[in-house]
Chains A and B, each alone.
Chain A
Amino acid sequence: MDRILKKRLRLSLTLKFFFIFWVGASLITLATFVGTRAWVDRHNDNEQYIHRATRTAERIVDYYERAEQAPRKAQRLKSTRERRALKALRDSQGIVSIEREDGEQLITPLQPTKRPSSEIQISGQSGTTYLVTVKHPPITATINRVTRAISFSQLIFILIASAAASAFMGWYIARPIRNLSQFARSRPSHSNLALPNSVAKRNDELGDLGHDINAMASTLEQIADSQRTLLHDVSHELRAPLARLQAMVGLVEQQSTDSKATDRMHHELARTDQLITDILALSRSDLSSTSLANHDVYELIQEAIDNLRTESPDRQVSLFGNSLSATTDYELLYRAVENLLRNADKYSPNDRPISVNLFENNDNIIIQIDDNGPGVSESDLQKLEQPFYRAGNQMHTDGFGLGLSIVTRSLGQIGGELKLENRKQGGLRATITLKH
């Protein structure tokens, strides 16, 4: 449950790359756009501003020069009114001060300003030069204008363009990684699987990684192969001396009257032969290639049950379910079902029934094999699938602990899973899940 939730919450590499690139690219584009625009605007603004301020300053200078020549009375009357107007004019144009060349202040700064300012020289009608200090327009005005200048459609365009670019980046990086992990997963069961093109053709670190993984898989495969071949060959070779031993025991049996000893010899020989058969089956369940076809799972189980009946005719085995078709390897699935049935038979008292349920669940085919034996201690449950592992309470029955490894390996080849659990009402439940 926890794992499923985690898997659902897990962000894929593609999405991560997509978001990172998208947010990054959008911000960078936006910042560049705003920055350039602000710089250009500010430049233009300053020029215009200074131009207008210069003209205002000229009017002020003109006024002062005329006022100096005019009769005092008229000048005063006019000046009160005009002074106000000029003051408003001056303020709005950002003129801080005007200074005549001889040092007289026409307009003195009202208060010190921290804003940057420029100094311009102008000349009046009389030919006198004046120094005008003009403060720059406030920066907030520029920003307001720039943000107003970026239209909604431009913003959308930036977002879409960067989304497309980021999606491509995400895909470009994550796709080969995803293909590679898929390759690594299916490589063990398909030895001639080629490296996917999206990885193999890359001439970069990801391409190298792909080739390295491939090489590693081949090496592992060779090691595993030689090990299996050795196991297979050794088991096979052991059969010849075993056959001779059996013939010899037969000869001894013919000539002696003590049949007890030879019976025990035959029993041990049969056990050794069974071990060899199991090991061969185990190595074969790894070695054999799958041949997939449509099979009726119900009939397959029925056949396995029929076979079990030849071994223990008194055992009551019932199969519940309907005909269900699956694309699978008959031999491998049969081997798994047969081994589980035989385990159920071996590890539960003869008079207790075995029941097999076949049904579909979430598109998976489920085969449940329930026995009514003693079950298995929880600590042993996990280890049961290891070769040669036998749970503590089973030592008295014949067997070598290979059955369940044969089951899991056979199922592994056909994409099936095995789960073992103790049933509440007692006994062991073995569940095979076959993915459709």
Chain B
Amino acid sequence: MQHILLVDDDISLTSLLSEYLNHEGFSTSIASSGEEAIGLDLSTFQLIVLDIMMPGISGLEVLKHVRQTSNIPILMLTGRGDDLDRILGLELGADDYLGKPCNPRELVARINAILRRSAPVPAKATISNDWQVNTDLLTASYQGTQAELTQAEFLLLQEFLSNANATLSKAHLTQQVLNRPLEKHDRAIDVHVSRLRHKLAQLNCPSQITALRGRGYRWTES
């Protein structure tokens, strides 16, 4: 059974959501503040649903703290229209976001999307010129140097490598990488691309990810 941690200062909301998730077949734990969440042993959870707007230690700080030690999938709950929070959260390593208030059905769909893509897939070592990709361990190495990628970045890299020199639309990438359809004002994939780009530059990988206005992204093989 998947174990999910709900972090939100609104206790009545978390208990309602927890009940809902239990009915959907998840087991849940609740943390009502950032401080409480940081004190927990995260290895027992498969996913964290993290509210960004919390008094005291904010969701963004919790996110930063968690990412120092763990790669656990994190779904942020942000106020609708808080674009800045979303982008900051994604840049700090959150996997995806959901506007709050949300339909709990949508929450479950989003949780499933993240969990599905982090589920182990048959091991297959792809070798693409300089790249060695292990889909089992979710690791990728460029000329022998291992890239520190989050799960979303890994899936993005994999998508690019298998579609080199082709234009991939934002909608396609969102579906493949985040396992959900593109929404309006959806910048998630752009932030993941920008993070991946940054990490490629650190590896001295000469390959280019080009943004094509209104069409999407293209991986240009060096």
Contact = CB atoms under 8 A, between A and B. Distances in A.
B19 A239 contact: no
Interface string A244-272: 11111011011100000000001001100
A306 interface: yes
A240 interface: yes
A364 interface: no
A280 interface: yes
Nearest to B105: A250
Contact of A306 (B13, B17, B102, B214): B214
B122 interface: no
Contacts of B23: 251, 254-255
Contact of B10 (A240, A255, A310): A240
Contact of A310 (B13, B79, B184): B184
Contacts of A270: 103
A310 B183 CA distance: 6
B16 A247 contact: yes
A243 interface: yes
B120 interface: no
Interface string B161-178: 000000000010000000
A273 B105 contact: no
B104 A250 contact: yes
A409 to B, nearest CB: 15
Interface residues of A, number: 32
Given A251-B19, A281-B81, A243 B183 contact: no
B182 interface: yes
A243 B20 contact: no
Given A248-B16, A251-B23, A310-B182, 10 more contacts: A239-B101, A240-B10, A243-B10, A243-B100, A244-B10, A247-B20, A254-B20, A254-B23, A280-B81, A305-B214
Interface in B69-100: 79-81, 100
Nearest to A313: B171
B213 A307 contact: no
Interface string B8-25: 001011001101100110
B61 interface: no
B138 to A, nearest CB: 29
Contacts of B80: 273, 277
A330 to B, nearest CB: 11
- Nearest first, the 9 closest Cβ-Cβ pairs linking A and B are A250-B104, A243-B101, A247-B16, A310-B184, A242-B101, A254-B23, A246-B101, A307-B184, A250-B20
Interface in A286-303: 299, 302-303
A311 interface: yes
Contacts of B104: 246-247, 250-251
A276 B138 CA distance: 41
A239 B213 CA distance: 35
A299 B105 CA distance: 35
A246 B103 contact: yes
B186 interface: yes
26 contacts: A243-B100, A243-B101, A244-B10, A244-B13, A244-B16, A246-B101, A246-B102, A246-B104, A247-B17, A248-B16, A250-B20, A250-B103, A251-B19, A251-B23, A253-B105, A254-B20, A254-B24, A266-B103, A269-B103, A273-B80, A277-B81, A299-B213, A302-B213, A307-B185, A310-B182, A311-B184
Interface residues of B, number: 26
B106 to A, nearest CB: 10
Nearest to A335: B81
Contacts of B105: 250, 253
Given A277-B81, A281-B81, A299-B213, A240 B20 contact: no
A271 to B, nearest CB: 12
Contacts of A253: 105
B62 to A, nearest CB: 19
Contacts of A248: 16
Nearest to B79: A239
Given A251-B19, A273-B101, A310-B183, A240 B13 contact: yes
B222 to A, nearest CB: 28
A266 B24 CA distance: 19
A226 B212 CA distance: 44
Contacts of A250: 16, 20, 103-105
A239 B9 CA distance: 13
A65 to B, nearest CB: 122
A310 B101 contact: no
Contacts of B182: 310
Contacts of B17: 247
A95 to B, nearest CB: 107
Contacts of B81: 277, 280-281, 284
A284 B214 CA distance: 28
A243 B102 contact: yes
Interface string A333-372: 0000000000000000000000000000000000000000
B181 to A, nearest CB: 9
Interface string B103-121: 1110000000000000000
Contacts of A308: 184
Contacts of B79: 236, 239
